[in-house]
Every structure is written in C-alpha cells, then in structure tokens.
Structure 1
C-alpha cells in the first residue's frame, strides 16, 4: 500500500493571517484574552460586550497598535436575536468574511433551586446558551461559502460536572456541549470545526472580586480562599490565565486543529479527572 506523507503542521506567530474573528463577551476577561491572541496571530477581530465608550476605544486602539490588525466593536445585546443578527452582519460588511466565531458571553447566578428567580434562569439561558445558537446559525452560511470555519464555544468545567446552587449555569453549559456536538456533525465534511473549551477557574477581574468578597465574608486570608474555597475541586491549585485560554483558542482556530471537532476540551487543572 502506498502512503502519501505530508509535512507536519508547524506553529506560526501569524497563524491566523487574513482571518476574521468575532468574539462575544470580549471587552474584558477571557473574551478579551482570546481577542488579543487572535489579533496577535494576524486576525482582524470584532469585539463585543459591555464597557464605557472610552474603555472600549482604548481596547480597540490597543489591539490595532500592538498587533497591526483591524478591530471593530459591536454593542449587541446577547439576549436579543435581532441585535445578534446585526452584529454578524456588521462583521461581514466590515471585512467581507467571517472565519472564526467564539461564543464567550456569559453571566452567572447562584441560588438554591427552589428559590432560583425565574427571570435569572431566563437571562442565564438566553446569554449563555441561546445566544450561541443565534450566532452559529448566522455564521455557518458564511463559513460554508468560504469553505472553512472555526466555531469555539467557551463552556466550563460545569459543562461536564455540576455544583450546587448553579442550576441555570450548569444547565446552559451542558447545553453548549450538546450544541457543539450537533454543529460539529452537521459541518464535518465542510472544513468547519466546532469545539467547546471547558475552563476551570480562570484569573479575571471578576474572580479577583470573588476572592476579596469571600475573604471578608468568611474572615479568612485570601490565600486560603483561593486554595480551600475557589480551587477546592481543582487539583493543581492554580488559576488558569486568560493568556492560556487565548493561546488554546488560537490553536483551535488554526489549520493545525483541522481534525479536532465535536470535542469538549477541559482546561481545568484536573477538576473533571475526579
């Protein structure tokens, strides 16, 4: 039997040259880390999320100054399908293509199931799950026309395991993994991949605020909060960084990850190995 060999894929600082990426929930935290990684790899980026106009402008200027890529902003509300449609249209009108979609927008609410506010359930499901359905259904036709696409859904360790008092968040993140698998199967022969990244705790400004709040409420040092409260289920006892998540997303968006699709990929320090 004759076997044809090809040169192995090699990494490149500009592995996303000429590509266009849309990252929801990307004005801070994980989403911004991903947008920065994409821009550094050569992609033009559309960022989305909340923020003061001057802060958004500073972010856009940073992305363009530090990477040389183009960056634009959409203020689309992820609970509103018509605004989501407008955001995807903005990307296509501005750049003429859409190569990479990252669904990162998300919110959290913690409450016992019998006390969980119905409006909070609806909001968490709308932003954490339904918004991804709307972006994907609108992005896939453009990716099909191009003959290539990368869809990356930011799930959570809570897409694979559960914790008490997080009914809506856990349900939405489990749903994201199911959606990921369906989209991967539907696009498997079209050079379009769809994967979910499942982080454990990632160090962001929101997590920093949780540390301070828990330390005050429990009357314990911040180091103990980190180790025994927040990272109690995370065997490596360290936060992932937004840079780590960004680098992983950039790999999944590259040609080197063409055979990875339909996967829920933990980045959780061993949390889900239990």
Structure 2
C-alpha cells in the first residue's frame, strides 16, 4: 500500500472530492482525519472507512476559525503522534456577475478557500517542520489557471491557492515538506450540481446547455472529471518519494486546460 502508516488530515472531507480522497487514502493504508464543518457527516465517512478495515477519526472543523483549525491538528497529533499529509480541500461556490456581487458573498468564498487554506497550511507546517517533513496538497481547479463568468471570488481564490502552494514549496523544502496543487475540471459533486440550475438561470439557457456548452465545452471528450481521477492524483502526490515533485499544479480536466 502506497500510504501505509502515514497520517493524513483532509478538510471538507465529509462529501465530494474530500470524501473520495479520505476513502482512497485509507485504502492505501493511511490513518485519516476526516475534518468537516458537519461532524455528523464526517462521522459517517469514518464509519465507512472503518467498515472497510481502515483507521480514521472525525473532526468538527470550520476552516475559517483559527482555533478550530489549530485544535483539530492538535487532536490528530495527540491521537496518532504526528502528521504526514494535509489536504486543504474545503470550499464553497457563489454564482453572480461582478457588478451585482455582494461583498459578503465575495468575502465568504475567499475566506473559506484562501484564508482557510492558510490556516490549515500553517497548522500543518507547524507539525511537519522538525518531524521529518510531509506533503501539503491544495485543491485548486482549472480556475486556478483560467476564468469563467459569474465566478469571480472562486476564480480569485483558486488563483491565490496556486501562489500559496508555490510559496510553501519554496519555504518548506529545507524542512522536508513538498507542496503541490491539484486542478480538476468539473467533477459531479454537490458543489457542481448546485451550480447547474444557478448558471441556467443566470445565463438564460437550459441546464443541459450549461453542462454541454459551458462546463464541458472545452474538454476533448465531453466528459466530467471523476472523483476517482482526483483521488488517484492525491494519492500519487502524497506518496511521491522526493522533492522532484513540488510546487507543481497537476491539471486533471479531460483536456479543458493544457499546460
């Protein structure tokens, strides 16, 4: 198993991409801390991991709360004695044109994605530095590279994560920390499913047209990226054996963005 006896914490891990990564890590032998705003949902993931023979713990974590983040990482170290992998995955979305975007909606998206990732990163590095290093993984997006209408706070936050990832790679190298960012295309998660009717209304087109002509228009095959696609990349980055792979953005988007 590629992650045998590694200790991992994943935010936003009660559903969608975060859950897929948590379950895949556990199958690869990692002990997994499932951190989420919804503790009951996190507990359900933990029970499923344990049912399949893995080891996991649930954490209630609001990534915009400095105290909640620090307490969550401390609980993991107290329980298992260290930390090897952290995945900053928690995220939200808001659909609006910039000229009608409320500041509170802008701030909320930036706060969860970017400020939350900073708090998670800082807590992770404090555990990894001086303890053999580790892997810091950020959940970016094709929107870390490109922009789409109606998503300005999300696009801005995902671009910011790219910069944070590269900064961690530069600073963390001497302490044995690698840092990379996964940039998926559209994945059929609850976050994306919620956007389909919102974009349909905002653009005045059908939901089918949103999928065909907006979300998947620039892919090579008209297909969504899958949870398995993303979780496989997350395992690969966590298991990679050297700093040859650090500061990198890994795009998994069916050719929507090529670099």
Same-fold call, TM > 0.5? yes
**Match for residue 29 of structure 1?**
16
Show structure 2 runs of 5+ residues with no match.
none
Give the structure 1 partner of residue 83 of structure 2. Answer: 98
Contact (CA 8 Å) 2:229, 2:252: kept in 1 or not?
Answer: no
Aligned length: 258
What is the aligned partner in structure 1 of residue 121 from structure 2? 136
Deviation at 1:52, TM superposition (A): 6.7
In 2, Cα distance between equivalents of 1:209 and 1:168: 16
1:62 and 2:40 aligned: no
CA RMSD of aligned residues (A): 2.1
Any idea what SS the aligned residue of 2:17 has? helix
- Cα distance change of structure 1 residues 42 and 213 upon mapping to structure 2, 3 Å threshold: same
Q: 2:238 aligns with which of 249, 253, 263?
A: 253
- CA drift at 1:166: 1.4
For the pair shown, the structure with the greater C-alpha radius of gyration is 1
Q: With structure 2 as the length reference, what TM-score do the two structures score? A: 0.92
| 1:229 aligned onto 2:229 | no
Match of 1:152 in 2: 137
Distance 1:171-1:213 versus aligned 2 partners, 3 A rule: closer
Q: CA deviation at 1:31?
A: 0.4
Q: Distance in 2 between matches of 1:48 and 1:225?
A: 32
Unmatched runs of 5 consecutive residues or more in structure 1: 1-13
Q: Distance in 1 between matches of 2:16 and 2:7?
A: 20
Question: How far off its partner does 1:116 sit?
Answer: 1.0
1:1-274 map, 5 Å:
14-51=1-38, 53=40, 55-66=41-52, 68-211=53-196, 220=206, 222=208, 224-256=209-241, 258-273=243-258
